[in-house]
Structure 1
Amino acid sequence: MQRLRVRLCLLVALPLMAASVARAEHFVIGVEDVDYAPIMSTVDGEFRGYARDMLDLFARSHGHSFEYRPLPTRRLTVEHLGARVDAVFPDNPAWEADAKRGQHLAYSAPAVPFQDAVMVPADKRDQPLHELGIVRGFTPKRFLPLIEAGQLHVTEAGDPARLIRMALAGRVDGVHVALPVARYQLAQLGQPAALVPSPALPAATYEPHYRLSSIRHAELVTQFDRFLREEQPALTELLHHYGLDERLAPAVSPVSPARR
């Protein structure tokens, strides 16, 4: 892992430092305090995963220092609008839209491509779903018509690991979670094939979702966008390292954000 970080750092450091338009600074980045490994997780207060390595790589390339502040999902926007953090990751214009109304936030381009799926027991893949497990604080907007019609009931859990165990125990019919996160958790349990994507509720590509945002540092977001464009080879290698380049086939069209 350390060798990978050094190699990726060398790939981006020189070209991006030469192109930097803003001076090196210290920034406090608000991040979600949620176990969404391998995309991101917080272990003993330490932010980890692909998102951490990606942001660290970006910071080093411009000489910035990032301090990560894990916060509950619902508090991120409050802390951001209150100027208690300099930027937030992940964020999206559609999340907490009412609270942000009238505010001028800068958002980066999509930063983390992945697919969300409803994972169901492999031996029950063709059965109808009535009870759907979701991570607390995440709103499955594409399923709202089914929920409002009473055809689908939602049960919440604090993190994907608990959701996966609920599905394996038969407490819910399926769980709504990022596909690489589900695969990671199943591998950790030694049951990689126990849950599969539901054919009844197909996977959705959420590339528009995870963005960097800032209400006070638009120049940081501009730098990050350039980083995403110019360092695709390094980021592709990092995605592969975390298993985030695996997709379902065939791919499906992007849909509206499923959180908050």
Structure 2
Amino acid sequence: MRRLQASFIHCLVAPLLLATAGLSRADHFVIGVEDVDYAPIMSTADKGEFRGYVRELLDLFARRHGHRFDYLPLPTKRLTAEHVAGRLDAVFPDSETWEADTKRGRTLVYSEPAVPFQDVVMVPLAKRDQPVRSLGIVRGYTPKRFLPLIEAGSLTVTEAGDPSRLMRMALADRVDGVQLALPVALYQLEQLGRPDALVPSTALRPMPYAYHYRLSSVRHDGLIAQFNRFLRDEQAAIAALQRRYGLDAKVTPAPR
């Protein structure tokens, strides 16, 4: 895998010099993606092969416009560093608030929200309304909406390498709850054969939290504009894809 990544990055330098402020004349793009198991949204768990909803969404976009996408999985911090250095055509997922220090001084263009989902804290059913004092998160992620509680010392954080380990931690009472995208949590519970063992906590506000991922690019603002049109024009196909991957799952907060 390291050899493949090195060859990708080496081969990218010359083609990227042809890029302009708009869409490059070339229809071949290398998209940097997170090397993470966050199924069904996205995953590289199967021998580094990029799979999941995001892969199908980007492939559909590429087919609609005659592009060819190659996907390069990288750790989160390295992904941003390679992007701002100009060695990737675009990155998914991204957000304006991620890795702000690394992006300082560079202008990135972001797409409209491309993968909406609800971010929840999953807890055992019996503890649904109880305070959450220890939280499990995926390593490398920052639980920004809980930072005030963490800084006040009322919430401790434990990291795990992937969502499956997080779910096992919660099921074993090693943490009070785990923070995940709702579709990811539901998928992992199904994989563990315990679909009803954990539920979204109602003790944390806001619950749930609406979130989304975006496509970003340092060089190809034309590609981002094209992707935005694709998101608007292909709503029916995208909705069907979301249903197939369970991304239409929603939690209705209980009345206050």
TM-score (norm 2): 0.87
Name 2:170's counterpart in structure 1: 167
Tell me by how many angstroms 1:82 deviates: 1.6
Superposed CA deviations along residues 153-179 of structure 1, whole A, max 9, x for unmatched, are: 000001111100100011111000001
Q: What amino acid sits opposite 1:221 in the alignment?
A: I
> Secondary structure at 1:175's aligned position in 2?
strand
Query: 2:202 & 2:151 partners in 1: Cα distance?
Result: 21
Query: 1:126 & 1:93 partners in 2: Cα distance?
Result: 33
Superposed CA deviations along residues 88-147 of structure 1, whole A, max 9, x for unmatched, are: 000111111121122111110000010000000112223321110001111111111110
> Secondary structure at 2:60's aligned position in 1?
helix
Query: 1:127 & 1:91 partners in 2: Cα distance?
Result: 33
> Secondary structure at 2:113's aligned position in 1?
coil
Query: 2:247 & 2:143 partners in 1: Cα distance?
Result: 21
Does the CA contact (< 8 Å) of 1:24 and 1:62 recur in 2?
Answer: no
2:59 to 53, 56, 61: 56
Query: 1:199 & 1:251 partners in 2: Cα distance?
Result: 7
Name 1:186's counterpart in structure 2: 189
Name 1:121's counterpart in structure 2: 124
Does the CA contact (< 8 Å) of 1:89 and 1:212 recur in 2?
Answer: yes
Does the CA contact (< 8 Å) of 2:31 and 2:89 recur in 1?
Answer: yes
Does the CA contact (< 8 Å) of 2:202 and 2:254 recur in 1?
Answer: no
> Secondary structure at 2:126's aligned position in 1?
helix
5+ residue gaps in structure 1? 1-20, 253-260
Instruction: Report matched runs for 1:67-146 at 5 Å.
Output: 67-146=70-149
Q: What amino acid sits opposite 2:94 in the alignment?
A: D
> Secondary structure at 1:151's aligned position in 2?
coil
Name 1:36's counterpart in structure 2: 38
The number of residue pairs the alignment matches comes to 230
Q: What amino acid sits opposite 2:76 in the alignment?
A: T
> Secondary structure at 2:115's aligned position in 1?
coil
Query: 2:178 & 2:89 partners in 1: Cα distance?
Result: 33
Query: 1:251 & 1:173 partners in 2: Cα distance?
Result: 20
1:204 to 205, 209, 217: 209
Name 2:3's counterpart in structure 1: none
Query: 1:250 & 1:199 partners in 2: Cα distance?
Result: 7
TM-score (norm 1): 0.85
Answer with 242-251 or 222-231: which moved more: 242-251
Within the alignment, does 1:234 sit opposite 2:237 as a pair?
A: yes
Name 1:10's counterpart in structure 2: none
The sequence identity of aligned pairs, in percent, is 70
- Cα–Cα, structure 1 residues 217 and 22, in superposed 2: closer, same or farther, change >3 Å? closer
| Structure 1 consecutive aligned stretches of length 4 or more whose deviation exceeds 2 Å | 21-24
Query: 1:235 & 1:251 partners in 2: Cα distance?
Result: 29
Tell me by how many angstroms 1:75 deviates: 1.1
Does the CA contact (< 8 Å) of 2:24 and 2:220 recur in 1?
Answer: no
What is the CA RMSD across the aligned residues, in angstroms?
Answer: 1.5
- Cα–Cα, structure 1 residues 251 and 180, in superposed 2: closer, same or farther, change >3 Å? farther
Query: 2:36 & 2:172 partners in 1: Cα distance?
Result: 22
Superposed CA deviations along residues 42-82 of structure 1, whole A, max 9, x for unmatched, are: 12111000000000000011111000000111111101012
